[in-house]
Amino acid sequence: MKILTISTRPFSDQRPGTSGLRKKVRIFRTPHYLENFVQSIFDTRTDLSGGTLVLGGDGRYYNRQAIQTIICMAAANGVARVIVGQSGLLSTPAASCVIRKYHTNGGIILSASHNPGGPDGDFGIKFNTANGGPAPEGVTGAIYARTREISQYRTLAADEIDLDTIGTQSLGETRVEIIDAVADYAALMEELFDFERIRQLFGSGQFSMRFDAMHAITGPYAKLILETMLGAEPGTVINGDPSEDFGGGHPDPNLVHAHELVALASGPDAVDFAAASDGDGDRNMILGRNFFVTPSDSLAVMAANARHIKGYAGGLSGVARSMPTSQAVDRVAEALGLDCYETPTGWKFFGNLLDAGRITLCGEESFGSGSDHVREKDGLWAVLFWLNLLAVRNRSVQEIVQEHWRKFGRNFYTRHDYEGIDAEAASDLMAHLETLLADLPGTTLDGHTVGYADNFAYTDPVDGSVSENQGIRIGFTDGSRIVYRLSGTGTEGATLRVYLEACETDPGKQDRETAGVMQPLVGIATRMAEIESRTGRREPTVIT
Ligand code: VG1
Ligand code: CO
């Protein structure tokens, strides 16, 4: 088969963000745009030549075309074997699972996660290394540097690969294997969780659940695992057929976008347990009957209860959370004598800690949690963890969480997002905050005394790499915190995220409404950053 060498010129905007390169579909369709980035991966990850690459995506618009393009480029770049999820699909955690299980050299995941899809929506591409995790900054930095100087890429003229039939095809010297997208992942879940106990829970007739796949990738995974393997009643999975534009919705599992599910978990006829996942299957939202579990609390509850779960009964080596995630898990770690790490936002920062065996569980406030079973956050894994816990503990979600607060204290938590604001105004706002930091410690704001104020920098304890400028932290002596950072996953303007946390150890005050408790801190945070005058926004776009 004839290899074609195509001349190209660099694009200046291919720096990966928090989770890969994300742009509007129309930008990815610009001639050579996708190809330049992919060639930059092959140019910098030279072990792919002669090696094995995993390939799959969340099924959004442009997924299939991009898969065909990448297979041809992989063949032209000497990749010996490409493992592709059937129909070009792999959830992000399933891709991580497959990369690890078959000892491959890495994978390319096509996804813009929770961002809307369709011709006018977003697309994304991410490279994961041989450990199954998102490429660390050193690797993404090298890929980006390559995109700045690229002058040609390699591909070949070939017929389209049949993506829908499981089996092996050849493209020149390259073997293209189409695999079942769900099977390996489902087998891994069965190793970690007590499926028999969960089957008994569903079989009891006393327990009802809904899982909202939000028209995204987890539909097939959830139907097989929950309904077929675990015996949940048919219809437990809603919005379970993946569509290229996620049914026109926003596949982000939070109280705002998963409103259909929230309604099913509310009121007198509410189900006992409800959960949702995002576009690419790595996020999760956990709801009990009329009860929302914050992602930060979910991580803390998992850590405190891991001994009840088959795959973690041997104990945890340590835990980690991203910096803006609440300190609820820190309290558990302290009580259990576990190491606890605070990392920058983005799953790539957990990889070294997991590989080194320093942590077993980790999570982010942005509806992400996971463990050392793969190197990505994992939505369905979290749902199964909770299901297993409910089956073993025989308590409701609300009872488990409230009991947790009584024992460890409650970290009230909320996040305010200001989406699509002017990029320059956003960076000026951050610069303004930076100028305040030096004088803040020791001052008292509305009764809260500032203990520390900094721009978070992280030194990876395993390889010593340093990541600076990871967000402004203001910590008060009463344990409450305000954190500001700019999103690294958006595709339009800038998104300012303001994260707020307040600790409450008095059981008599732990059942108050979050919004009321957070009001004073919200006031401090919005005034200090001059949000209204600098962005023109009186209210956040989304509150989670
Ligand atoms: C957001 C979240 C972050 C998460 C990232 C990728 O990043 O805050 O915690 O790791 O999305 O998640 P940012 O930079 O926009 O705040 V996913 O499910 O979109 O791959
Ligand atoms: Co995601």
Q: Is 489 in the pocket of ligand 1 (CB under 6 A)?
A: yes
Does 185-408 carry CATH code 3.40.120.10?
Answer: yes
Q: What is the pLDDT of residues 405-442, one digit of tens each?
A: 999 999 999 999 999 999 999 999 999 999 999 999 99
Which of 246, 366, 499 is the pocket-test mutation for ligand 1 (most atoms within 8 Å of CB)?
Answer: 366
Q: Is the dihedral of CA 443, 445, 446, 451 positive or negative?
A: negative
Structure tokens belonging to residue 14: 């291919």
Q: What is the pLDDT of residues 94-152, one digit of tens each?
A: 999 999 999 999 999 999 999 999 999 999 999 999 999 999 999 999 999 999 999 99
What value does the mean pLDDT of the chain take? 96
- By the 10 Å C-beta count (0-12 exposed, 13-18 middle, 19+ buried), 17 is classed as middle
- pLDDT of res. 93: 98
Nearest CA to ligand 1 atom 16: 487
Q: What is the pLDDT of residues 367-396, one digit of tens each?
A: 999 999 999 999 999 999 999 999 999 999
Q: Is 348 in the pocket of ligand 1 (CB under 6 A)?
A: no
Q: What is the pLDDT of residues 269-282, one digit of tens each?
A: 999 999 999 999 99
Which of 489, 491, 492, 544 is the pocket-test mutation for ligand 1 (most atoms within 8 Å of CB)?
Answer: 489
The CA dihedral of 484, 488, 491, 497, to the nearest 10 degrees, is -20
Instruction: Map tokens 């402004």 to a residue.
Output: 472
Q: Residue ranges of the alpha helices (H) in 113-245?
A: 137-147, 183-192, 195-203, 218-222
Q: Do 3-179 and 410-543 have matching folds?
A: no
**Every domain of the chain and the residues it spans:** 3-179, 185-408, 410-543
Give residue 219 CA to ligand 1 midpoint distance, Å: 21
- pLDDT of res. 516: 92
Q: What is the mean pLDDT of residues 296-314?
A: 97
Residues with CB under 5 A from ligand 2 (ion): 113, 278, 280, 282-283
State the CB neighbour count (10 A cutoff) for residue 101. Answer: 16
Q: What is the mean pLDDT of residues 237-247?
A: 95
Q: What is the pLDDT of residues 152-184, one digit of tens each?
A: 999 999 999 999 999 999 999 999 999 999 999
- pLDDT of res. 254: 92
Q: Is 345 in the pocket of ligand 1 (CB under 6 A)?
A: yes
Q: Is the pLDDT of residue 58 over 90?
A: yes
Q: Is the pLDDT of residue 18 over 90?
A: no
The rounded distance, in Å, linking the Cα atoms of 366 and 408 is 22
- pLDDT of res. 48: 98
Question: What is the percent of the chain where pLDDT is above 90?
Answer: 97
- By the 10 Å C-beta count (0-12 exposed, 13-18 middle, 19+ buried), 13 is classed as exposed
- pLDDT of res. 304: 98
Catalytic residue chosen out of the listed positions 113, 296, 326, 369: 113
Question: What is the percent of the chain where pLDDT is above 70?
Answer: 100
- pLDDT of res. 492: 81
Instruction: Map tokens 């074997």 to a residue.
Output: 81
Confidence of residue 488 (pLDDT cuts 50, 70, 90): confident
Nearest CA to ligand 1 atom 11: 489
Does 410-543 carry CATH code 3.30.310.50?
Answer: yes
Confidence of residue 491 (pLDDT cuts 50, 70, 90): confident
Q: Is 366 in the pocket of ligand 1 (CB under 6 A)?
A: yes
Confidence of residue 473 (pLDDT cuts 50, 70, 90): very high
3-179, superfamily in CATH?
Answer: Alpha-D-Glucose-1,6-Bisphosphate, subunit A, domain 3 (3.40.120.10)
Atom of ligand 1 nearest to the CA of 115: 19
Residue 113 appears among annotated catalytic residues? yes
- pLDDT of res. 244: 96
Instruction: Map tokens 């600076």 to a residue.
Output: 468
Check if the beta carbon of residue 272 is closer than 8 Å to that of residue 396. yes
Atom of ligand 1 nearest to the CA of 92: 20
Check if the beta carbon of residue 180 is closer than 8 Å to that of residue 84. no
